[in-house]
Amino acid sequence: MSILPPPPPQGDLPPPPALPQIGEMMNTHAVNPWVALAYLIAGVLFILALRGLSSPSTSRMGNRFGMAGMLIAVVTTLVTHDIAGLGETLIAIGVGGGIGWLIARRIAMTDMPQLVAAFHSLVGLAAVLVGWAAFLNPSAFDLLVVGDIIQAGNLVGIGTTIAAASRIEMALGVAIGAITFSGSVIAFLKLAGKMSGAPILLPGRHVINLGIIVAIVVLTALFATGNVAQGEYFAALTVLAFIVGFLLIIPIGGADMPVVVSMLNSYSGWAAAAMGFTLHNTAMIITGALVGSSGAILSYIMCRAMNRSFISVIAGGFGADSSGASGDAVKTDRPWKRGSAEDAAFMLKQAENVIIIPGYGMAVAQAQHALREMGDMLKAEGVNVKYAIHPVAGRMPGHMNVLLAEANVPYDEVFELEDINSEFAQADVAFIIGANDVVNPAAKTDKGSPIYGMPVFDVGNAKTVMFIKRSMGGAGYAGVDNEVFYMDQTMMLLSDAKKMVEEIVKALD
């Protein structure tokens, strides 16, 4: 691309006025310490933005810090670069910002997982585009170095090319960005129900994926070591990264989505960090590292909450082979008790302590508002109501917390698994709505169960268990039968979650 055998120079790049030493970066823009400082401040503000999230009371301040950091980064960039096309740039910001703002205003809280997945895909695609822009116009990003031009083994001259280190960083950024993009698109389609959430298993997929990843690494090496940056390698690795992102997420099932969404969150961060290395921009590096570690930690928390290794989640296919499992035969001929909304209302009113366990089914049924109403009525009767949330309830980390917050449930009534699990022994009613696997005692007792080892709520310790479920047919996501259905103290409330809660509310009145 930019071989410049001097003299005379050719191509679209101006020759450097004075050739620096071979291998040395050419500074076409003088680095202003104030600019570097501004990016550093932006990075620190982003750290403070995450720090604010340690408590709901400081979180909004944190979000403002984040906005301020972004404003500083954008304004700094605009004022320190040739702003020939400022109009177009501002229009682009306006168009994108308008779309983003509208989406953010309109989105239903139950749709947050797919929105986040969609946003991840945009970061990934932006990273790919920036990487390619840097490749096509390296002088704009100060990426050129002077080096020997060797053709067919002969030194034919000296010219400028993209530094090898920059090429590796660009390739990494573009590859991770492309994986983030196509992976997030699949995650979005699955979460939005536009594509079956069931795992799609291709034969030999591990071999294919590994092969593609190896190919990407090889192409990166070829791209970096050539004496000029060759677009063919760069294009090939971009395409392969798009394909592998798609293949990686296709085999992962719906309930593993919390891990996938966190993982893609992490990837989008690493992509930004890699571009930050290319551009020598502290704000991007700090942010990329923050987001990358944030997503990685969330993935870890999600995996731990399912007692599954990260590798096994990524390898995919969980729950795919459970259709005809042993549970079905047992389930039909075991006795269980069915309750009505009136029975449930009566018992809830008599109770002293009630613990509500919401799950993904509550989100699907949009039952959170009705549930909060029920909780308020019980509190008016003097009942002590608490909400218990499992880390993997829902389709993304913290999904249930947001839905309950949306329904005006005060956050100090909402507890995490380890904080509330000991309280079931004192609870009169454990009220399970739209959850299943997270209360299944098989996770503690049955070594053969696919969910064995997963931390679960000890609902069996409660005096009464109320279990809202559509029908006795479908087991949980893991496809395993649940002992809780058949316990003496369990009352099955078979109905749509929202309808059932509304009926209970009516009966409480």
Partner 1 sequence: MTFIAILSIFVMACFVGYYVVWSVTPALHTPLMAVTNAISSVIIVGALIASAEAGSAAAKWLGLIAVVLASINIFGGFAVTERMLAMYKKKERPAPPTARDDAAGKGSRS
* Stretch of 104-112, 326-334, 361-369, 439-447 contacting partner 1, by CB under 8 A: 104-112
- Asked whether position 239 contacts partner 1 by CB under 8 A, the answer is no
Shortest Cβ distance from residue 85 to partner 1 (Å)?
6
Q: Which two tokens stand for residue 197?
A: 């959430």
The site that binds partner 1 (CB under 8 A) totals a number of residues, namely 133
Whole-number CA gyration radius for the chain: 28
Shortest Cβ distance from residue 323 to partner 1 (Å)?
32
Nearest to 347 by CA among 445, 292, 427, 265: 427
Residue from 84, 152, 207, 311 in contact with partner 1 (CB under 8 A): 84
Shortest Cβ distance from residue 442 to partner 1 (Å)?
25
Residue from 77, 114, 160, 449 in contact with partner 1 (CB under 8 A): 77
Contacts of residue 492, defined as CB under 8 A and 6 or more positions apart, other chains included, come to: 336, 337, 338, 339, 467, 469, 472, 485
Contacts of residue 429, defined as CB under 8 A and 6 or more positions apart, other chains included, come to: 347, 348, 351, 353, 354, 355, 462, 463, 464, 465, 466
- Asked whether position 235 contacts partner 1 by CB under 8 A, the answer is no
Q: Could you list the active site residues?
A: 437
Between residues 141 and 318, which has the closer beta carbon with respect to partner 1? 141
- Asked whether position 294 contacts partner 1 by CB under 8 A, the answer is yes
Nearest to 119 by CA among 96, 92, 88: 96
- Asked whether position 275 contacts partner 1 by CB under 8 A, the answer is yes
CA-to-CA dists, residue 447 to 442, 450, 479, angstroms:
8, 8, 15
Between residues 77 and 495, which has the closer beta carbon with respect to partner 1? 77
Task: Give the bridge partners for 122, in sequence order.
Answer: none
Contacts of residue 331, defined as CB under 8 A and 6 or more positions apart, other chains included, come to: 472, 475, 481, 485
Interactions with partner 1, residue window 347-376 (CB under 8 A): 373, 375-376
The answer to whether 472 and 485 are in contact (CB under 8 A) is yes
Between residues 59 and 489, which has the closer beta carbon with respect to partner 1? 59
Between residues 42 and 465, which has the closer beta carbon with respect to partner 1? 42
Interaction pattern, residues 384-423, with partner 1; x per rule: CB under 8 A: xx---x-x----xxxx-xx--xx-x-xxxxx-x-------
Between residues 263 and 344, which has the closer beta carbon with respect to partner 1? 263
Nearest to 228 by CA among 461, 2, 466: 2
- Asked whether position 105 contacts partner 1 by CB under 8 A, the answer is yes
Interactions with partner 1, residue window 13-72 (CB under 8 A): 13, 31, 39, 42-43, 46-47, 49-51, 53-57, 59-60, 62-63, 66-67, 69-70
The answer to whether 483 and 461 are in contact (CB under 8 A) is no
Between residues 291 and 371, which has the closer beta carbon with respect to partner 1? 291
* Stretch of 95-103, 188-196, 210-218, 223-231 contacting partner 1, by CB under 8 A: 95-103
Please spell the DSSP secondary structure of 466-488, one letter per residue.
EEEES-SS---TT----GGGGST
Interaction pattern, residues 138-167, with partner 1; x per rule: CB under 8 A: -xxx-----------------------x--
* Stretch of 74-82, 315-323, 338-346, 473-481 contacting partner 1, by CB under 8 A: 74-82
Pairing assessment for the beta strands 464-469 and 414-416 based on DSSP bridges = unpaired
- Asked whether position 129 contacts partner 1 by CB under 8 A, the answer is yes
* Stretch of 77-85, 150-158, 323-331, 425-433 contacting partner 1, by CB under 8 A: 77-85
- Asked whether position 292 contacts partner 1 by CB under 8 A, the answer is yes
Residue 473 to residue 476: CA distance in whole angstroms:
10
Contacts of residue 175, defined as CB under 8 A and 6 or more positions apart, other chains included, come to: 216, 220, 237, 238, 241
Q: Which two tokens stand for residue 213?
A: 């990843």
Between residues 40 and 222, which has the closer beta carbon with respect to partner 1? 40
Shortest Cβ distance from residue 114 to partner 1 (Å)?
12
- Asked whether position 265 contacts partner 1 by CB under 8 A, the answer is yes
Residue from 86, 155, 218, 330 in contact with partner 1 (CB under 8 A): 86
Shortest Cβ distance from residue 291 to partner 1 (Å)?
4
Q: Which two tokens stand for residue 487?
A: 């316990």
- Asked whether position 186 contacts partner 1 by CB under 8 A, the answer is no
Residue from 133, 150, 156, 221 in contact with partner 1 (CB under 8 A): 133
The count of residues in the chain is: 509
Lateral strand order in the sheet of 429-433: 414-416, 384-389, 353-358, 429-433, 464-469, 490-494
φ, ψ at 300 (rounded to 5°): -60, -45
Residue from 7, 8, 12, 21 in contact with partner 1 (CB under 8 A): 12
* Stretch of 110-118, 212-220, 314-322, 489-497 contacting partner 1, by CB under 8 A: 110-118
Helix axes 257-279, 282-306, angle to 10 degrees: 160
Between residues 137 and 196, which has the closer beta carbon with respect to partner 1? 137
CA-to-CA dists, residue 261 to 42, 127, 185, 463, angstroms:
26, 18, 11, 37
Between residues 78 and 155, which has the closer beta carbon with respect to partner 1? 78
